[in-house]
A = this chain, B = another copy of it.
């Protein structure tokens, strides 16, 4: 197809603008809901063909990658700017770069080639409802995951891909303990899993015995009570005890 014989050369090497988009989840324990952070572009920046209405044009929070930063550090600073929390789990999701994919970036980059590296983030924090996102030119708001509106371009696809990854990670790796409080009760943990994975992911008592049998939940000796009912034991995630399970297929379900 190309008349070049050097596999390194291609038709027309292009200059790309590289951006990151983040699917940012948080679990609202008090309201039992999974939340996702979305931004609404100021109308002056909206370029979509279909955006004639006054309805906000929701999109994933994003930023361009600067000359001196990596995509991951760009994602981290985006998270810090939008949520002001450092208690989070972050992982790369997927890179999208169709030639005709529009840049969500305004003004500049119009017509320029754009590539988006997407990230999955899960925020912790003891009172998620207090995580009021920073409002700047671009309006940010937490949305209930099950009720996300239609987003620009292919971003609903990205958000669903992020959710699928979140579920997988929660089931097969201990990311929950990275963002949960230092000590927690088993029913708190169960509630957390239930909100993300859905009501019927497991029976409470089976969840309980499975996790305790794994042996990396350490009884702190402390108890906590919330009004009526038997006080609950506080557990701590024991990193050392978990180490042997690292990289092994482990099921929390």
A interface vs B, CB < 8 Å? 1, 5-18, 39, 61-71, 74, 77-78, 81-82, 92, 94-95, 97-99, 105-106, 108, 113, 115, 117, 134, 136-138
Contact = CB atoms under 8 A, between A and B. Distances in A.
B70 A98 contact: yes
Among A7, A66, A67, residue most surrounded by chain B Cβ atoms (within 10 Å)? A7
A171 to B, nearest CB: 9
A119 to B, nearest CB: 10
B7 A67 contact: no
Contacts of A92: 94-95
Contacts of A113: 67
Contacts of A66: 10-14
Contact of A1 (B9, B77, B115, B117): B77
A69 B10 CA distance: 10
B15 A15 contact: yes
B8 A62 contact: yes
Contacts of A9: 64
Nearest to A112: B15
B97 A18 contact: yes
B11 A99 contact: no
30 contacts: A1-B77, A5-B136, A5-B137, A6-B136, A6-B138, A7-B61, A7-B63, A7-B134, A8-B63, A8-B105, A8-B106, A9-B64, A10-B64, A10-B66, A11-B66, A13-B64, A13-B66, A13-B67, A14-B67, A15-B15, A15-B16, A16-B65, A16-B115, A18-B97, A65-B97, A70-B99, A71-B95, A71-B115, A92-B94, A95-B117
Given A7-B136, A63-B10, A67-B13, A97 B117 contact: yes
A93 to B, nearest CB: 10
Nearest to A15: B15
Contacts of A14: 18, 65-67
Nearest to A99: B68
Given A8-B138, A10-B65, A64-B10, A70 B97 contact: yes
Closest 9 CB pairs of A and B: A14-B67, A12-B67, A10-B66, A15-B15, A11-B66, A16-B16, A95-B95, A13-B64, A6-B137
